[in-house]
Amino acid sequence: MKIIGIEILPLTISFKTVIEESFGTVGLKEDDVVIKLYTDEGITGLGEGSTLGPFYCGESQETVMGIIGHHLFPKVLDGKDPFNIDLIHRHMDKVVYENSVAKSAIDFALHDIMGKALNVPVYRLIGGKFTDRIPLRASVGIASPEAMAERAKAIVDAGFQGIKMKVGLKPYEDIERVKAIREAVGKETIIDIDVNGAYSPKEAIAVLNKVADCAPILVEQPVSRDDLEGLALVKRSVNLPIGACESALTLSQILRVIRMDAADFFNYKISRSGGFFRGKQAVYMMEAAGLFAVGSEQLGFGIELAAQAHFAVSTSILKLPGGYAAGIIGMAGTFHSTGFTGDIVDETPLVQDGQLRVPERPGLGVELVEDRWRRYITPGKEVIRIGKVL
């Protein structure tokens, strides 16, 4: 089997609900890239790359399309056997430095092809299943304590086991936000505080020590992604699990965090970090270091959600209750995928009662619907077709 062509689709998602984070508003319009990778045996693989914008991980819709169209497809993929995953990743890393969102989209498509060729779901290719369903957290954006508490209560009532609450705009007001959410959801619901790097080490230590009695189960990225010394200081000074998220996009960054003993856990997103292949390498490093991981999606369509589901069920250290955060469902104005009518795939991976089920069909288990994805074409952009496209 050989790869013979690619379609690169520039899409833009508009959500019904936005999330205010310390670095800005997420969800007004999110640019996305979907790829269709063609083989000479008639099997097509789907991949997706959502970036949240260049401020977040250094990539954008334009860079993902350009890197794939001008470099990764012609110089790495064209004519290659899609089963040679290790070789392809090594070659991609030689041809292009970083740009892991673009590489993730390709990795997803390669695994989709392999699964379809072997007639097995992707999770069978990457370790099998540790569980059938993934308990989810849902996000609460920064707002008044009262509004955040109301949103958190609605999430719990919908069956989600955890709250991922955003903070960081005004550190000392965040104390009241945490207390309000804890009072609204009770003692049994897990709370994850996500700062997105907005605090200084001094602010983080002061705020987190004041909210420790609210029993947040973990704190994500309390200080700037580049301040590993500060992250390590917070970890030593606060009696709460401290995690690296934006500080740990690549394997080398994860290794630095481990060597500096700067975190207790990682929030790891395979859609921004190289896909399944690099993701498995990353979690094995974390496990060897005695650390755990949580995960979340990057606000893509159902292709990305399916990929996240396959990764989550096959990864033993993603075992924290509510250890995965689902974005697109809640931001589409519903807490159940059955109420999400705007997806571009035929069957959005099932989210119901706060749990995500992994697709069981071959490959990623989803297929594009032509008249759906065309509604999301980014204005002013065109589909790129290279090679033999069926």
Residue 229 sits in the same domain as residue 279: yes
Residue 228 sits in the same domain as residue 209: yes
The answer to whether position 207 is within a domain reads yes
> What single letter denotes the amino acid at residue 11?
L
Residue 115 sits in the same domain as residue 130: no
β-strand partners of 293: 266
Containing structural domain, residue 344: 124-357
Q: Cβ distance 194 to 47 under 8 Å? A: no
Residue 95 sits in the same domain as residue 133: no
Closest CA to 106 of 117, 93, 119, 118: 93
Task: Identify the pLDDT of residue 49.
Answer: 94
The answer to whether position 363 is within a domain reads no
The answer to whether position 20 is within a domain reads yes
Cα(272)–Cα(279) distance, integer angstroms: 10
Task: Identify the pLDDT of residue 378.
Answer: 96
H or E element, residue 136:
strand 133-140
* Residue 90's CATH number: 3.30.390.10
Task: Identify the pLDDT of residue 386.
Answer: 98
List the Cα angle 239/245/246 in 5-degree steps.
Answer: 130
Residue 151 sits in the same domain as residue 252: yes
The answer to whether position 313 is within a domain reads yes
Phi and psi, residue 166, nearest 5°: -90, 135
Number of domains the chain is built from = 2
Residue 161 sits in the same domain as residue 248: yes
Task: Identify the pLDDT of residue 372.
Answer: 92
Task: Identify the pLDDT of residue 18.
Answer: 75
Residue 349 sits in the same domain as residue 375: no
Closest CA to 278 of 299, 252, 306: 252
Cα(168)–Cα(329) distance, integer angstroms: 24
> What single letter denotes the amino acid at residue 145?
P
Q: Average pLDDT for consecutive 10-residue bins of the chain (390 residues)?
A: 99 81 78 97 97 83 98 99 99 97 98 99 96 86 96 91 92 97 94 96 98 94 98 98 94 97 93 95 95 83 92 80 59 66 86 88 97 94 95
The answer to whether position 18 is within a domain reads yes
Closest CA to 45 of 102, 116, 101: 116
Look up tokens 């509510």; give the residue.
Answer: 322
Residue 350 sits in the same domain as residue 374: no
Q: Which residues contact 130 (CB under 8 A, 6 or more apart)?
A: 313, 314, 315, 316, 319
The answer to whether position 189 is within a domain reads yes
Question: 352 vs 130, 161, 340, 342, CA distance in Å?
Answer: 19, 12, 11, 17
Residue 50 sits in the same domain as residue 38: yes
Cα(51)–Cα(353) distance, integer angstroms: 28
Residue 348 sits in the same domain as residue 375: no
Residue 158 sits in the same domain as residue 256: yes
Residue 181 sits in the same domain as residue 211: yes
For 361, the 3-state DSSP assignment is: coil
The answer to whether position 362 is within a domain reads no
Task: Identify the pLDDT of residue 320.
Answer: 59
